[in-house]
């Protein structure tokens, strides 16, 4: 029993120090994300948002490898865009969800499961974008995890995949960003531009 | 009853602390694997320790250990049950489903850092790591019961 309680005590101390450090050094952008989540919570919006069954008519035919695809439903805790993925060519995006993990999926699903859709072009040379695509392909099979730390090479969420493949090339899509790289912040990055006005 | 509550609380605290440690180590993937075997070993120690404290017949020991397991693994077990009921068609995906999966996954963070090294899919849709998360709660409960019964059967135990 004693070994268990001692291990727990040391573990609890480490966790408390980590939390205290993060609260004290919290960046303004992190506060912004928390404030948004809190204001949404007060309106009864919590989690991934609600798909109202209404599809969108966004045209994905102009996509090039390395473009960023966005999907949005109302009532999410983290912004207008609730999901992001990297277009890898041949009508497929590399995306990550909890149950299937990180894997290629048809881009057409963004017309069916989101009431709004959009796409961003990254303002970088084609060879950089191709290398980003190659990096994304190597992430297939990796787990989705809501709390994934920014620098963990094993745990992912949708917009972290998009951010990371470009960050590894030396281009940070969210340079002053908070702990979480939310899709809305990627959409506001100076390194991207919308391909066309979004679906609805 | 006091023993059951005490061990349930202890195991809940253990899972939270070890998941927190695994999370803190997530930037170093191979280091983040270490909390999981340590946690499993401590679950075994806790099971044996419970049986030593619990001076009752074998059947009662197993039931009490199972009760502790159910209380301790509630956050993970609800996700496992949801997965099963979804698979057999008793429930359908809705807005709360994702939150249930989030809860199960966060609860088992200590194992997620191990499962992240295993790729592949099961049944064409589910990732291997997700199936691992679904199975983790029942297996941990069985481990705790097994450790308690192992200790109970050892010579010298009342």
Per CB-CB distance under 8 Å, the chain B contacts of A18 are 20, 24
Q: What is the pLDDT of residue B156?
A: 63
d(CA B91, CA B78): 13
Give chain B's residues under pLDDT 50: none
Residue that the structure tokens 């979480």 belong to: A180
The helix (H) or strand (E) run that includes residue B74 is helix B74-87
Beta bridge partners of A76: A48
Q: What is the pLDDT of residue B95?
A: 64
Q: What is the pLDDT of residue B155?
A: 66
Q: What is the pLDDT of residue A33?
A: 73
CATH for A190: 3.90.1720.10
How many Cβ pairs closer than 8 A exist between chain A and B?
Answer: 103
A154, A156, A157: best to mutate for the B interface, most B CBs within 10 A: A154
Residue A33 domain flag: no
Per-residue confidence in pLDDT tens, chain A, 200 aa? 677 777 788 878 888 887 787 777 777 777 777 777 777 777 777 666 666 777 888 999 999 999 999 998 887 778 889 899 999 999 999 999 988 999 999 999 999 989 899 999 999 999 999 999 999 999 998 999 988 888 888 899 999 999 999 999 999 998 877 777 889 989 999 999 999 766 55
pLDDT in tens, A32-91: 777 777 777 777 776 666 667 778 889 999 999 999 999 988 877 788 898 999 999 999
Instruction: Evaluate whether A96 touches A158 at the Cβ level (below 8 Å).
Output: yes
Residue that the structure tokens 């695509």 belong to: A133
- Chain-chain contact of B26 with A11 (C-beta, under 8 angstroms): no
- Chain-chain contact of B113 with A154 (C-beta, under 8 angstroms): yes
* C-alpha distance from B98 to closest chain A C-alpha (Å): 8
Per CB-CB distance under 8 Å, the chain B contacts of A98 are 98, 101-102, 105, 130
* C-alpha distance from A15 to closest chain B C-alpha (Å): 6
Residue A99 domain flag: yes
d(CA B26, CA B33): 9
Beta bridge partners of A102: A96
Instruction: Evaluate whether A35 touches A79 at the Cβ level (below 8 Å).
Output: no
Residue A182 domain flag: yes
- Count of domains observed in chain A: 1
pLDDT in tens, B21-42: 999 888 888 899 999 999 999 9
Burial class (CB in 10 A: 0-12, 13-18, 19+), B103: middle
Residue A74 domain flag: yes
Q: What is the pLDDT of residue A10?
A: 82
Residue A106 domain flag: yes
Residue A125: φ, ψ to 5°: -60, 150
Q: Given CA atoms A154, B106, B15, B137 in this order, what sign does their dihedral have?
A: negative
Closest residue on chain B to A138 (Cα) = B119
- Chain-chain contact of B129 with A101 (C-beta, under 8 angstroms): yes
Q: Does A61 touch chain B (CB under 8 A)?
A: no
Of the candidates A47, A142, A149, the beta carbon closest to that of B99 is on A47
Confidence (pTM): 0.84
Range list of H helices, A55-181: 109-112, 126-137, 158-167
Closest residue on chain A to B115 (Cα) = A143
Q: Given CA atoms B95, A97, A23, A10 in this order, what sign does their dihedral have?
A: positive
Residue A20 domain flag: no
- Chain-chain contact of B112 with A145 (C-beta, under 8 angstroms): yes
Residue A102 domain flag: yes
Of the candidates B20, B42, B126, the beta carbon closest to that of A4 is on B42
Residue A32 domain flag: no
Residue A157: which domain range? 48-194
Q: What is the pLDDT of residue B158?
A: 52
Q: Does A15 touch chain B (CB under 8 A)?
A: yes
Of the candidates A100, A146, A155, the beta carbon closest to that of B127 is on A100
d(CA A46, CA A142): 26
- What does the DSSP 8-state code read for residue A156? B
Closest residue on chain B to A46 (Cα) = B99
Complex ipTM, two decimals?
A: 0.80
């Amino acid at each position: 029993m004693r070994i268990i309680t001692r291990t727990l005590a040391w573990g609890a101390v480490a966790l408390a120090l980590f939390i205290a450090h993060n609260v004290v050094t919290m960046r303004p952008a992190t506060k912004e994300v928390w404030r948004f989540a809190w204001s949404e919570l007060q309106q009864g919006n919590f989690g991934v948002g609600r798909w109202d069954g209404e599809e969108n008519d966004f045209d994905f035919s102009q996509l090039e490898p390395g473009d960023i695809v966005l999907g949005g439903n109302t009532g999410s805790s983290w912004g207008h865009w609730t999901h992001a993925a990297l277009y890898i060519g041949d009508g497929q995006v590399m995306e990550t969800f909890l149950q299937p993990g990180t894997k290629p999926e048809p881009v057409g699903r963004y017309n069916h499961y989101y009431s709004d859709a959009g796409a961003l072009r990254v303002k970088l040379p084609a060879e950089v974008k191709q290398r980003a695509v190659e990096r994304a392909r190597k992430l297939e099979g990796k787990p989705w995890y809501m709390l994934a730390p920014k620098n963990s090479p094993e745990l992912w969420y949708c917009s972290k995949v998009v951010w990371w493949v470009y960050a590894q090339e030396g281009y940070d899509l969210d340079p002053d960003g908070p702990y979480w790289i939310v899709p809305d912040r990627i959409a506001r990055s100076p390194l991207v531009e919308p391909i066309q006005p979004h679906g609805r | 009853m006091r023993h059951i509550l005490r061990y349930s609380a202890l195991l809940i605290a253990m899972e939270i602390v070890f998941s927190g440690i695994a999370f803190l180590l997530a930037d170093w993937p191979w280091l983040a694997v270490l909390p999981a075997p340590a946690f499993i070993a401590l679950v075994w120690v806790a099971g044996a320790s419970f049986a030593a404290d619990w001076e009752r017949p074998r059947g009662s020991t197993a039931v009490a250990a199972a009760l502790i397991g159910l209380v301790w693994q509630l956050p993970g077990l609800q996700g496992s049950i949801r997965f099963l009921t979804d698979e057999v068609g008793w429930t359908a995906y809705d807005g709360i489903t994702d939150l249930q999966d989030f809860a199960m996954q966060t609860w088992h963070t200590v194992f997620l850092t191990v499962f992240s090294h295993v790729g592949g899919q099961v049944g064409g849709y589910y990732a291997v790591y997700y199936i691992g998360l679904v199975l983790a709660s029942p297996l941990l409960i069985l481990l705790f019961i097994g450790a308690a019964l192992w200790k109970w059967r050892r010579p010298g135990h009342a």
